Chains A and B, each alone.
Chain A
C-alpha cells in the first residue's frame, strides 16, 4: 500500500463547476498537508497547505483535512480553464520530506 493514494483521473468538468480532489494516507504522524499544482512541462507550484485537521480557504480554493479518517481534500469553486493542471497532494513527513500522491489530472472545459 502506498503511503499516499490519489486517484490519477483524468477528471474533466465544465467551466464554473465545483471540483473536489481527494487523497487518503496511511501515516498518522503526518501533520502538514500540502497541495501543489503542476502545469504541463512545469515544476510543481505550491497552492496551499494546512496543519492538522480542519479547513483553510484561499480565494477559490479550500483545503480540508480529516485526520480521523486520514482523508485530504481540495475544493475548487467557480473552476476556470486556467485551473486545468495536475494536482498533487503531499503530506510532510518529519524534517521537510514531502510524500507525494500520484497526482490527479484535471481538465476544465470552456
Chain B
C-alpha cells in the first residue's frame, strides 16, 4: 500500500492565521483526498484533488477557506485559512490505489487558540 506522509503532524495555531498542510505519497496516484475529523466525530470529505485541475469541494467547504494545490502526482497541500477554534480538527490526506482501496496518512492535528 502507498506510504503517505503528512506535515506538520500537529500544531497549535493562533486565531486568524492560516496553516498549510503537506501530503507526500511514495508513489504516483491520480486522486488524492482531504478529510476532516472534528473532535469525537467521524471523517468528512473536504475535497478531491486531481493533478492538473482545480480541486472539487464537497458541500459546506469552499476554496477560499480550504485552498488546495496538487502540483504533481505525489504531492498535495491543504491550507486552512483565517482559522477559528471551530477549525480545530484532524486533517487527513488519503489516496486511492487500484480503484477502490483508499489509504490514509497519519493526520495533522490542529488546535486553534
Residues of A within 8 A of B (CB): 32, 34, 36, 41-46, 49, 51, 88, 90, 92, 95-98, 100-103
Give the A-B pair count, Cβ closer than 8 A.
52
CB contacts (< 8 Å) of A102 on chain B: these are 41-42
B100 at the interface (CB under 8 A from A): yes
List 29 A-B pairs, Cβ < 8 Å.
A34-B102, A36-B104, A41-B109, A42-B106, A42-B107, A43-B4, A43-B92, A43-B104, A43-B106, A43-B107, A44-B43, A44-B92, A44-B104, A45-B104, A46-B104, A49-B100, A88-B42, A88-B43, A95-B48, A96-B33, A96-B48, A97-B48, A97-B58, A98-B43, A98-B45, A100-B44, A101-B42, A102-B41, A102-B42
Q: Are B42's CB and A96's CB within 8 A? A: no
* Separation of A51 and B105 alpha carbons in the complex (Å): 24
* Separation of A44 and B42 alpha carbons in the complex (Å): 11
A42 to nearest B CB, angstroms? 6
